[in-house]
Amino acid sequence: MPVPESVAIPEHAHDILTDLPTGHLATLRPDGRISVNPVALVFDGSHVRVSTLKSRFKYRNLLRDDRISISVPHRNNPNRYVEIRGRAILEDDPDRAFVNEIARIYMGADEYPFDQPGDERVTITIVAEQVSAPKIPLASDPPGAPDAS
């Protein structure tokens, strides 16, 4: 299925999305409240993609309402971040190709090792409608950064 065009993510934020980031993914619960979960992600230069199980609330939330937001801080400098707001496209991952790509990137493993028999995987593609990636004071001099890379 072709993925719609996204609003461009500024070049100065690409390193945030490609340096083993942890994003904080927000979906809307049935009661209208927001649910936020940490997720591993893959950025292909245009879209951010995330894997989840069909048994997860985030999947069921997105089936009902495809609005989505993800905030991704730089892993070594939380003063730098990118926030993407838009719509989710859900695609089955029956051969586990996408979740295994995440395992290779984040774990150096050929296969994602934590699913149970019968777990069904889905790839969430975020189609950006709005992007915030401000250049802010202290962006290059973070107080208390966990490591120096």
- 143 inside domain: no
pLDDT digits (tens, 9 = 90+) for 71-103: 999 998 888 999 999 999 999 999 999 999 999
User: What is the count of structural domains for the chain?
Assistant: 1
pLDDT reported for residue 6: 86
Percent of residues, the chain, with pLDDT higher than 70: 90
In a domain, 46, yes or no: yes
pTM (predicted TM-score): 0.89
Give a yes or no: residue 146 inside a domain: no
55 lies in some domain? yes
Q: Residue 139: what pLDDT?
A: 59
For 96-116, what is the mean pLDDT?
A: 96
- Which residue range is the domain that position 103 belongs to? 11-132
| CATH number, domain with residue 87 | 2.30.110.10
Q: What residues does 26 pair with on adjacent strands?
A: 36, 69
In 3D space, the residue among 59, 72, 73, 71 whose CA is nearest the CA of residue 28 turns out to be 59
pLDDT at residue 129 is higher than 60: yes
In a domain, 125, yes or no: yes
What confidence score (pLDDT) does residue 88 get? 98
Between 34 and 143, the higher pLDDT residue:
34
In a domain, 96, yes or no: yes
Cβ pair 62, 88 in contact under 8 A? yes
Nearest-CA neighbor of 61 among 34, 91, 100, 94? 34
Q: Indicate the SS3 state at residue 82.
A: strand
Confirm whether 93 is domain-assigned.
yes
Report yes or no: 7 and 76 within 8 Å, Cβ to Cβ.
no
Residue 148 within any structural domain of the chain: no
